[in-house]
Amino acid sequence: MFRDLFENIEKAFKKLFENRILVLGFVLVPLAVLLFVRLFQLQIVRGNDYYEDYMNMTRKEVPIAAMRGNIYDRNGILLAGNRVVYSITISDENYYTKSDGEFNEMLLRLIEVLDRFGLEPERSIPVSVDEKGAYYFEGSTSAIRRFIRDVYGTERIALLQEQGKDPYSYDAETVMKYLMTGYYNFTKKWAGASEVSELNALKICNIRYSLSSVSFTRYLSSTVVKDVSQEVQAAILESQGNLAGVQVEESYERVYYNSECFSSILGYVGSITTEEIEELNASGGDYSAGDVIGKEGIENAYESYLQGNKGKKVIYVNNVGIVMQEEVIEEPEQGNDIYLSIDANMTIAAYNVMEQQLAGVVVNHLYPGTDYDPDVAYEKSEYLLPIRDVYFQMINNEILSMQKLAEGDALSVGRTMDHTMKNRKAEVISELKEYLETKSTEPLDSMDEYMQAYVTYLASYMSDAGYLVSSRIDTESDAYTRWKSHAISFPTYITEALKAGWCDLSTIDDSERYNTVDACYEFLVQILLEELESSYGEFDKLIYDELIHTEVITGCDVAIALSEQGVINIDESYITRLKNGDNDTAYNFFKDRITSMEITPAQIALDPCSAGLVLTDPNTGELLSVVSYPGYDANQINDSAYYSKLLKDQSSPLYSRATQSRLAPGSTFKMITATAALEGGYLQADETINCAGIFDKLDHPRCWIYRLQNGEHGDLDVVHALGQSCNCFFYELGYRFSLNGDGLYSPTTGINVLTEYAKMYGFGELTGIETSENVSTLTTELPVTSAIGQGTNAFTTISLARYVTALASSGNVYEFKLLNHIEDGSGNTILSYTPKITNYLDFSDSTWNLIHEGMYTVVHEGGSRNGDFDNLRYDYAAKSGSAQENRKRPEHGLYVTYGPYDDISYAMAVQVPNGYSAGNAALIANALYEYLEGDITLEEILENSASSGSVNDILD
């Protein structure tokens, strides 16, 4: 029975398992239960945890740049603001592989679109391409070194330096090759690499280098071209199917108003560097690659206030990193607004009167003839500006582009000039080739002046290129001294330099081939001839110099070429006159254009071409105007071509004549000497000193009245000595300072007295202004001549302004700041500045009264300015100063002044480097006083042409 039961059970189970559905059910049901439990755990128990983890993998936070704060003058006039622009940007969103060049191919398609509109990617690396397709560095030394460091990395640079190599000395070709092959896939893996032109390769590198700066923040875009038109935007959008990752984005661009007038104080903004990120974040900043920061001036000094607070947006990407959605979660906050102490209209007026006065000086010193002998002029201090020097400066200062001359229409005057230059250049190179290869022994001084210039250029090139190492040269050797005196030939000098080991030929690959002096000489000749063949460089300028000064290229040619390049506008009838004109036609043309300032002193870049002015309120210590001429357009500063031109500009617009330029103060120093004499007991208030024209102690220096008029001042007290700017009077004081306790002359004793009182007025230390500033240096020798502002004194305009402010206020030496106050977005003042008195000069009332009276006498009562300002309807006090630091250039002109005398509102310092006379600095002050007193409006100033006034006589 049991057996039957078991058999039935066995049959039942057998039948059961033979039912596939039922078996499947036994398998699936437990699995379903497990799946349900797992889903319950994922969705209900730990759903939030897993959701957050998922979102962290696909949700990325990206910063949004804040709009920069505005900068205003004291009256609320906008100096620097922002405007909305549309820019082409690119971001790395994994659309393309890079190893096979797919990404580079996309960039070429983008470049092709930009080329249709004449646009180029923003330059992020300091490299350009010449007409032969060769790469060369172009930019500041710091930018080039930073680029090389980024390409090679600090560790590799250190390793190479240990091996005796210096990557910082590599040429652009070497660095670019390393960059392209090592980083940007210009290799065999990219089949199209060999077909890409050098120019397009550079454009690709610029885009990728800029993009690499934000590589640590994925999905942050990099700007390719700023501020594009609607047509360009449409073209990019139409091509987006082939330009994945390229977008048109709205952003803000910094805008500067009347930029040239304010550039020296406002500075400019630019893209942040790696070093700047580290430095700013170390002091509490929130900066990352791609940010724009202040680089100079107020923009830099108050960066933390102007920058604003970044916003945030969230982007969601798919599993391959492509952006699917984005959302703003925090709006950016605009930066704070800066209000400066300066008056915008005063500054604009000052800048323009400086330019007009400089133009007047240039016009009044133009010399039309061909018989000007600079050696005779230097000897007699009768400096003039030969008109042919002006013609040449149009090329030398790159107002005329040599490259554009070559690219002109076949019938253009510019193209003819280029052909003439190249023909002459070929002749010169042929002559130099023979001169070098035959190892000519013809001394340099026996060659004509132009061949001397060409050979001197070769010597300079050897030094600049590092082939001739100055530190190795024995300056006492016969070869060197004879070369400096032009008594031997260049081939002889180089041969001797090779023998003496002054040359460095370590860059030669085949060292065995160049193991003798003759072989090394041949190598150098080859290098020099290759350099001469390059186009549009300094050697070409020398050729133009010869052609212009020998009248092969005329002033009329230069004038027409200026018109062809759009530098100036000339109607067709005048062009016809120029084509048929002579020397007088060209001279009158340029004289008229300089007078109307269509051609500016800065463009000519001959003496004088620059000036600095600082205006203060001596009652409060506020800076009302800080001006440097020439300025630059900060709106274009980030354009590589424009910045490169600024670096080459011979008028040095990036250098502030208000805060950086240091000149010997000349007779403006005499109030310091008077102070030391009166306060130190070296001179009594009513004491007189006799001026016989020649100081009869020491080396017998002369007074200006003897030098110019063979005269003398006679007996003078300190008031009239200041008024007449009598040198002998102050020589005597300098001598008295230098007598030690034994009554013996001790220069150190005298220097100590002068520097002690100069330091009281703030010289020898910074004024405190927020922009780049040099320290005024104090004299270290010759106390007698230092007492009249010579010696080794060298003062900035702003330090002279602090000095004259102290004089005007009878003792208040201020710390200078441009800041007035800072406001947040709601108009609340979050920081303000009140000028601080860093030193109070507690001198006697008698000393102050005598100095004030002496400075008043300068302008009145037939003082040293000889009544130049008799037309003014108000009183002021002043002191002029002239100083010569180079016998081959005109004297500097300086002027310090305050007024009106009975109700002092202003103190001012003006410097005109190589300005011929202190009177020309004084005329600038005069013109600005007329504006300040309401005798002329700003509109009238802006309509004026070159000043008709110019002072040549030096009466101090």
Worst-scoring range by mean pLDDT, 216-230, 255-269, 474-488, 809-823? Answer: 216-230
The mean pLDDT value for 439-446 works out to 95
| 845-859 vs 797-808: helix crossing angle, rounded to 10 | 120
Worst-scoring range by mean pLDDT, 4-13, 231-240, 579-588, 833-842? Answer: 4-13
Residue 129, strand partner residues: 135
Angle at 860 between CA 682 and CA 696, to 5 degrees: 40
**Per DSSP, which regions of 70-174 are E strands?**
71-72, 78-90, 127-129, 135-137
How confident is residue 148, by pLDDT bands cut at 50, 70 and 90?
very high
- Separation between Cα atoms, residue 707 and residue 710, nearest integer Å: 6
Q: Flag whether pLDDT at 862 surpasses 70.
A: no
- Separation between Cα atoms, residue 855 and residue 879, nearest integer Å: 6
- Separation between Cα atoms, residue 569 and residue 572, nearest integer Å: 10
The 10s digit of each residue's pLDDT in 694-723 is 998 887 789 988 888 889 999 999 999 999
3-state secondary structure of 691: strand
270, 299 Cβ separation under 8 angstroms: no
The residues near 403 (Cβ < 8 Å, ≥ 6 apart) are 131, 535, 536
- Separation between Cα atoms, residue 695 and residue 698, nearest integer Å: 8
Alpha helices in 580-699 (DSSP H): 583-595, 601-604, 640-648, 670-679
b/e per residue, 771-788, with b = 16+ CB within 10 A? bbbbebebbeebbbbbbb
> With 0-12 CB in 10 A as exposed, 13-18 as middle and 19+ as buried, what is 247?
middle
The 10s digit of each residue's pLDDT in 593-619 is 999 999 999 999 999 999 999 999 999
- Separation between Cα atoms, residue 135 and residue 137, nearest integer Å: 7
Q: Flag whether pLDDT at 97 surpasses 80.
A: no
Residue from 703, 748, 707, 710 nearest 730 by CA: 703
The 10s digit of each residue's pLDDT in 298-335 is 999 999 999 988 888 777 766 545 556 777 788 889 99
Report strand pairing: 71-72 vs 819-823. unpaired
- Separation between Cα atoms, residue 533 and residue 530, nearest integer Å: 5
The 10s digit of each residue's pLDDT in 508-566 is 655 455 678 898 899 899 989 988 988 788 999 999 999 999 999 999 999 999 999 99
The 10s digit of each residue's pLDDT in 357-405 is 999 999 999 999 877 877 777 766 688 999 999 999 999 999 999 989 9
The mean pLDDT value for 197-224 works out to 82
Structure tokens at 446: 């026996």
Q: Flag whether pLDDT at 162 surpasses 80.
A: yes
617, 905 Cβ separation under 8 angstroms: yes
- Separation between Cα atoms, residue 787 and residue 778, nearest integer Å: 11
* More confident: 663 or 29: 663
Q: Flag whether pLDDT at 353 surpasses 90.
A: yes
| 141-152 vs 172-182: helix crossing angle, rounded to 10 | 30
* More confident: 128 or 817: 817
921, 910 Cβ separation under 8 angstroms: yes
Structure tokens at 806: 């102290």
Q: Flag whether pLDDT at 866 surpasses 90.
A: no
CB atoms within 10 A of CB 597: 18
3-state secondary structure of 905: coil
> Would you state the pLDDT for residue 678?
98
- Separation between Cα atoms, residue 773 and residue 612, nearest integer Å: 13
- Separation between Cα atoms, residue 783 and residue 606, nearest integer Å: 33
Residue from 268, 222, 278, 251 nearest 110 by CA: 222
938, 350 Cβ separation under 8 angstroms: no
Q: Flag whether pLDDT at 490 surpasses 70.
A: yes
| Mean pLDDT, the chain, integer | 89
Query: What is this structure's pTM?
Result: 0.87
Report the first-to-last Cα separation within the chain, whole angstroms.
147
CA 744 to chain centroid: 49
Worst-scoring range by mean pLDDT, 4-18, 69-83, 932-946? Answer: 4-18
> Would you state the pLDDT for residue 154?
87
